Structure 1
Amino acid sequence: MSTASSVTALPPRRPKSYANPPTHHMGCPPTTFRNPWPSYVHSTIGTLFKTRWNTPKNFVPVPQDRAGLVEARKPNFGAGKDGLKATWIGHASFLIETTRAAGMERGMRILLDPVWSERVGPYGMVGPVRFTPPPCSLDELPEVDAVCISHDHYDHLDSDTLKKLLMKQDGNLKFFCGLGVKAVLVGLGIGVTPEHVTELDWWDPVQLQAEGMSVELVCTPAQHQSGRAPWNLQSTLWCSWVVNEAPEGGKRLFFSGDTGYCHVTSDSEPSHHNAPHPPCPAFAEIGELCGPFDLALLPIGCYQPRSVLSGQHSSPDDSIAIHKDVKSKKSIGMHYGTIRGAFSANYEPVTEPPLRFKKAAEAEGLRWGDEVGLCDIGETVVV
Structure 2
Amino acid sequence: MSSIGGTGIGMGLYAAVSNPAQIASQPEEAAEKRHHLKNGKGFTNPWDSYMEFGFWELVVKGIWWRKITGQWNDPDTTPPTVPVRTPTFLPTRTTPKLRATWLGHACYYIEFPSGFRVLFDPVFEDCCAPITIKSLKRYTPPPCEIEDLPIVDAVVISHNHYDHLSYPTIQRLQKKFPEAHFFAPLGNKVWFEKSGVKNVTELDWWESRHVSLGEKKGAADDEVSVASNGGRKEEGITATIHALPCQHVSARTPFDKCKTLWASWSVESGGAKVFFAGDTGYRTVPPSIPSDVDDYSPTYAHLPICPAFSQIGLHRGPFDLGLIPIGAYEPRALFSNVHANPKDAVNIFKDTKCRRALGMHWGTWVLTEEEINITSGNFKMRWCSLTKLSFIRAYKVIHLH
TM-score, normalised on structure 1?
0.87
Structure 1 residue 180 corresponds to structure 2 residue 187: yes
Q: 1:9 aligns with which of 5, 19, 27?
A: 19
TM-score, normalised on structure 2?
0.83
- Measure how far apart 1:308 and its partner are: 1.5
Instruction: Indicate the residue corresponding to 2:213 in structure 1.
Output: 210
Change (3 A) 1:359 1:256: closer
Q: Distance in 1 between matches of 2:260 and 2:141?
A: 29
Change (3 A) 1:35 1:270: farther
Q: Distance in 1 between matches of 2:269 and 2:398?
A: 18
- AA aligned to 1:89 is L
Higher Rg:
2
Instruction: Indicate the residue corresponding to 1:86 in structure 2.
Output: 100
Change (3 A) 1:287 1:78: farther
- Give the alignment of 1:348-359 within 5 angstroms: 348-355=370-377, 358-359=378-379
Q: 2:391 aligns with which of 365, 372, 382?
A: 372
- AA aligned to 1:251 is A
- Give the alignment of 1:1-383 within 5 angstroms: 2=12, 4-10=14-20, 11-20=23-32, 22-27=33-38, 30-48=40-58, 49-52=60-63, 53=65, 57=71, 59-66=73-80, 69-77=81-89, 82-100=96-114, 107-124=115-132, 128-169=136-177, 171-187=178-194, 189=195, 191-193=196-198, 196-211=199-214, 212-246=236-270, 250-265=271-286, 266=289, 267-269=291-293, 272-273=296-297, 274-341=300-367, 344=368, 347-355=369-377, 358-368=378-388, 370-376=389-395, 379=397
Q: Distance in 2 between matches of 1:219 and 1:270?
A: 33
- AA aligned to 1:88 is W
**Is residue 8–residue 206 contact of structure 1 (8 Å, CA) maintained in 2?**
yes
- Measure how far apart 1:148 and its partner are: 0.3
Structure 1 window deviating more from structure 2 (49-58 vs 71-80): it is 49-58
- Measure how far apart 1:62 and its partner are: 3.0
SS of equivalent residue, structure 1 residue 91: coil
Change (3 A) 1:176 1:270: farther
**Is residue 325–residue 361 contact of structure 2 (8 Å, CA) maintained in 1?**
yes
Q: Distance in 2 between matches of 1:281 and 1:61?
A: 32
- Measure how far apart 1:85 and its partner are: 1.3
- Measure how far apart 1:375 and its partner are: 2.3
**Is residue 121–residue 127 contact of structure 1 (8 Å, CA) maintained in 2?**
no
Q: For each residue in 1:295-328, what CA deviation from the matched residue of structure 2 results, as whole angstroms up to 9, or x when unmatched?
A: 1011111111111200100010100010110011
Change (3 A) 1:7 1:126: farther
- Measure how far apart 1:382 and its partner are: 5.5
Name the Cα RMSD after superposition.
Answer: 2.2
- Measure how far apart 1:13 and its partner are: 2.4
Q: Distance in 1 between matches of 2:348 and 2:28?
A: 20
Change (3 A) 1:217 1:360: same
**Is residue 178–residue 201 contact of structure 1 (8 Å, CA) maintained in 2?**
yes
- Measure how far apart 1:46 and its partner are: 2.9
- AA aligned to 1:99 is P
**Is residue 264–residue 276 contact of structure 1 (8 Å, CA) maintained in 2?**
no
- Measure how far apart 1:178 and its partner are: 0.5
Change (3 A) 1:46 1:295: same
Change (3 A) 1:373 1:235: same
